[in-house]
């Protein structure tokens, strides 16, 4: 496997030196702009408890805590290295009791039923099992009326996304239509989607 292929495969489960480099890029300005565009769709939502699923380098967890200063957040990632990085990036919030970081699997979340107002997934559902199996877990942990935000850099039809599907193991880029169908299958009653006017970014918000 070439160096580039080895590096981009770190998006699934960062580990080792290349994983640390990947997490640094996840917290960089390019991904931040996309994540902030996705968060701009959360107007009117005032969550007390947030689950940040597939937390990567921890940047988005920190921004959510800034956006909602009265909230508490649990950040979960499959990668041990991501958990370490997110803890480091959110050290103050963790010390204040506002941020808890855990290693876990989105297809079997160790979180209580009906407890969270908001769940978020930035650039991560590409690798989730199912995805219906994982979406059912998100549905389970949300309160009635809770929201699930998905933000993806690929809309499932762009050439770059298709290219990365071929070189990143286990990656699947979904269209907004495919995500909507999977979310409704597991019980979400309302799903709204938006596409960036100039980029292949998509935002999906599903309500329980």
Contact between 50 and 64 under an 8 Å Cβ cutoff? The reply is: yes
| Residue with the larger pLDDT of the pair 109 and 26 | 109
- How far apart are alpha carbons 53 and 138 in whole angstroms? 9
- How far apart are alpha carbons 70 and 93 in whole angstroms? 12
Terminal Cα distance for the chain, rounded: 42
For residue 4, pLDDT over 50 is answered with: no
- How far apart are alpha carbons 116 and 122 in whole angstroms? 17
If DSSP codes are grouped into helix, strand and coil, which group holds residue 129?
Answer: coil
pLDDT tens-digit series, residues 85-100: 999 999 999 999 999 9
Task: Give strand pairing partners of 49.
Answer: 72
| pLDDT at position 168 | 78
Catalogue all structural domains in the chain, each as residue range(s) with its CATH number: 3-207 (3.40.50.150)
| Across 121-128, average pLDDT | 94
| pLDDT at position 61 | 97
| Across 58-65, average pLDDT | 97
Averaged confidence pLDDT in the chain: 88
pLDDT tens-digit series, residues 152-170: 999 999 998 888 888 778 7
| pLDDT at position 136 | 98
Angle at the Cα of 56 from the Cα atoms of 177 and 13, rounded to 5 degrees: 85
| pLDDT at position 26 | 54
């Amino acid at each position: 496997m070439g160096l580039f292929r080895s590096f981009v495969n770190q998006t699934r489960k960062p580990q080792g030196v290349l994983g640390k480099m990947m997490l640094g890029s996840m917290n960089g300005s390019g991904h931040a702009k996309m994540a902030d565009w996705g968060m701009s769709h959360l107007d009117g939502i005032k969550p007390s408890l947030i689950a940040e699923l597939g937390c990567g380098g921890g940047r988005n967890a920190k921004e959510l805590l800034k956006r909602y200063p009265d909230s508490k957040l649990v950040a979960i990632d499959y990668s041990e290295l991501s958990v370490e990085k997110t803890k480091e990036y959110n050290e103050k919030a963790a010390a204040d009791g506002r941020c808890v970081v855990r290693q876990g699997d989105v297809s079997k979340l160790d979180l209580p039923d009906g407890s969270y107002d908001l769940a978020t997934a930035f650039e991560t559902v590409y690798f989730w099992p199912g995805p219906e199996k994982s979406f059912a877990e998100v549905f389970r942990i949300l309160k009635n009326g809770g929201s699930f935000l998905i933000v993806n850099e690929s809309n499932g039809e762009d050439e770059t996304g298709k290219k990365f599907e071929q070189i990143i193991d286990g990656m699947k880029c979904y269209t907004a239509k495919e995500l909507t169908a999977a979310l409704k299958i597991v019980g979400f009653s309302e799903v709204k989607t938006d596409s960036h006017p100039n980029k292949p970014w998509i935002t999906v918000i599903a309500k329980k």
